[in-house]
Amino acid sequence: MLTLLLAVAMPLAPHARDLQTDLARFNSIKLSAEARLFPPGNGLTEAFGNVEFVCRQQRDHVPEEGDAAKEAFESFVTFSRANERNLSDEIHQRRMDLLSRADKAGSWRARYFMAMRSIYLFRNEPQGRAAFDQLFEMAQSGNPAALAGVLHWSGGMYDDIPQRLLILKAAIERGNPQAMVTVGFDLGARSLELRPKGLAMLQCAADQGSAEAYEGLGRVAWLEGRWVDAHRTWLRGANLGCESCLMTIDTAMRTSAAGYDPDEGTYRQDSKAELLRKFYADQTLRSLSLLDDLRVEAPTQMWLEWSDRQLLKVLEARVNRYGIP
């Protein structure tokens, strides 16, 4: 172990360094047996071990909206995005009128959004409890977004594991990306045997626009000793709106910088990482609804980037500071 650590951590003279060879070395790290898997978790590997996974799309399992309903909901979305930071009573009323109009036109997304918003604003009040009942009714009809919403506002439903597992299975069968990310991460990180199934779930979610799936895809790459792939995956996720990916990337950038202060808080106020975090955090429609198609992707000029040499510096700093598990 010591020999390997010294071989990875020992600095090379700039003229002698073969950049791609060094990167390849960091993409084939030999980890200890304990570092290749997360410890046993909350029963997902047991519950989904014998469940066949088929990649399905959520859009194929939600109620169909007519043209009028689609147009009404898109009017609400367009107006809300254009007035994201306008909190005046007049704008708020206009926003709610458009949402109500979409609901009356038959948009399931409008009804779902109204329920999710009311739970967020009035969770412990009668209005919030009534909204949760409405969301639960949508979930019982098989709406995969509502199934995920019920789990979200039930704190994961860890106090009722059988019900939690039933909801996760129903949501995955109907193509919900949030459920796939939850289960796929667990299978990929905790079981070598079930890792292919977990990766398939994560990739299915990513293909539907789930930025959060990149956290799990990157974590599996890390556990397999593919640290270059892991960081590139997390970087991709960060640029698409995965907050945990962004925290990982920001920490890696800071710890590799000269004069790093371990007591410094995450996200320097003037950093590109903070600007990117704020861009996604300010998207109320996505944060309230959990619907990936309501997330607006950051323009490419805001994206974080690494050259191969910068990535090598990050990885070397990681090993020099913490070693190889």
**Structural domain count, the chain:** 1
199 inside domain? no
Token pair recorded at residue 138: 């949508």
pLDDT at 172 (0 to 100): 98
270 inside domain? yes
User: Cα torsion for 283, 234, 209, 96, to the nearest 10°?
Assistant: -10
pLDDT at 3 (0 to 100): 38
Q: Mean pLDDT in each 10-residue stretch from start to end of the chain (325 residues)? A: 40 59 93 87 91 97 97 98 93 97 98 98 94 97 97 89 95 98 97 97 98 98 96 97 94 74 59 92 95 96 93 90 79
Burial 295-325 (b: 16+ CB within 10 A, else e): beebeeeeebebeeeebbbbbbbbbeeeebe
Distances from the Cα of 267 to the Cαs of 13, 224, 251, 276, in angstroms?
A: 32, 28, 8, 10
pLDDT at 6 (0 to 100): 35
Q: At what angle do helices 243-255 and 213-223 cross, to 10 degrees?
A: 50
149 inside domain? no
Instruction: Find tokens 């409405």 and name the residue.
Output: 134
**pLDDT tens-digit series, residues 67-105:** 999 999 999 999 999 999 899 999 999 999 999 999 999
pLDDT at 267 (0 to 100): 55
pLDDT at 5 (0 to 100): 40
Domain span holding position 250: 1-10+17-36+211-325
184 inside domain? no
Contacts of residue 97, Cβ cutoff 8 Å, sequence gap at least 6: none
User: Cα torsion for 96, 99, 101, 103, to the nearest 10°?
Assistant: -130
30 inside domain? yes
288 inside domain? yes
**CA–CA separation, 282 vs 261, rounded Å?**
28
167 inside domain? no
Q: Where are the alpha helices (DSSP H) in the chain?
A: 2-9, 19-26, 44-48, 67-82, 89-104, 108-122, 126-140, 144-153, 161-173, 177-190, 195-207, 213-223, 227-240, 243-255, 272-281, 284-289, 308-322
234 inside domain? yes
Contacts of residue 228, Cβ cutoff 8 Å, sequence gap at least 6: 23, 24, 26, 27, 311, 315
Token pair recorded at residue 174: 């109907």
pLDDT at 269 (0 to 100): 61
**CA–CA separation, 313 vs 125, rounded Å?**
52
